Amino acid sequence: MIPWAITIPLGLYMSKQRFKLIGLTNRLKEVQTNLRQANKALERRANFDGMTGLLSRDSFFGQLDQMRAHKKTNVLMIIDVDHFKDINDSFGHPAGDQALILLGKIFRKTLRKGDLAGRIGGEEFGIFLPQTSAPEGQIIGEIIRHEIENTFFEPYHNMRHVITVSIGVAGVASHEERGALMGNADAALFNAKRRGRNQVALFEPWMSTKPRLVHDKVRDFKPIGAHSNFR
C-alpha cells in the first residue's frame, strides 16, 4: 500500500510538471519567433524605404560600392521629380506620397533584375545599372522618363496630374570616389533641369562638376514658356 500511496501522487505531480514544461517550451518558441520577426522588421526598416519599398539611401550606396568594385562598365542615375512641391501644395502631402509610391512601382517594373533602385532624398531617387555603358544608360533613362510621363496619376477624381522627372546619367568607374560619381550625375541632372526639365542628360566633361546641390533644388528656375503639368 505504501508504494502505491507514493507512486500515484508522484505520478500526478510529474505529469503536472511535464505539462508546465511543455507550456514554457511553447512560450519560448513563440518569443523566439516574435524576436526573429522583429529583427527582420528592423533589418527591412534599415535597408528599405518605408514608403516606396525601394532601397534606403545607406543601403543603396552600400550595395553600389560593392557592385561597382567587380564590374567594369556601370551607370549611375539621379532622378528628381519635376515641380514636386506643386503636387504637395495643390493636392496635399498624401497625394505627394502616392506619387512617390507610384514611382517606386514604375522603377520595379521597368528596371532589369540586378539593377539597384533607392530613394536617396525626399523626391530624389538613385538607380545603379551594372554592366551598362553610358549610352545604354541614357536609353534606359529615356525609357524610365517616358514610362513615368505616360503613367496615369489622378490625385482627385477627374483631375489628372502628369508626373515628369529629370534624369542625370553618368558612367561609373570602380576606382572613382563616390563623391566624384555623385558630382557627375548631379551635374548632368542640373543640366537636364536647366534645359527645361522632363529630359535625360548624359554627363559630359564640359559640364560643371559642382552644380548647385540638387537638394537646394533648382525648382525656382522656371524657363520661359514652361508648360503646366495639369491636364
Checking DSSP bridges between strand 74-81 and strand 124-130, what pairing results, if any? antiparallel
> pLDDT-based confidence at 83, cuts 50/70/90?
very high
Look at the chain and count its residues: 231
Q: Which residues pair with 170 in a beta bridge?
A: 76
Helix axes 2-47, 57-68, angle to 10 degrees: 80
Average predicted confidence (pLDDT) for the chain: 84
Q: Which of 30, 43, 123, 142 is catalytic?
A: 123
**Amino acid identity for residue 132 in this structure:** T
Q: Average of pLDDT values for 72-100?
A: 94
pLDDT at residue 3 above 70?
no
Count of Cβ atoms closer than 10 Å to residue 228 Cβ: 9
Q: Which secondary-structure segment (H or E) carries 64? A: helix 57-68
Sign of CA pseudo-dihedral 204, 206, 209, 212: negative
Helix %, strand %, coil % of the chain (to 5): 50, 15, 30
Whether residue 123 lies in the annotated active site: yes
Helix (H, G, I), strand (E, B) or coil at 194: helix
Report d(CA 146, CA 60) in Å as an integer.
24
> pLDDT-based confidence at 6, cuts 50/70/90?
low
Task: Enter the pTM of the model.
Answer: 0.74
Give, in order, the Cα–Cα distances in Å from 14 to each of 3, 18, 24, 81.
16, 6, 15, 69
Please list, in sequence order, all residues whose beta carbon lies within 8 angstroms of the beta carbon of residue 90, skipping any fewer than 6 positions away: 155, 161, 230
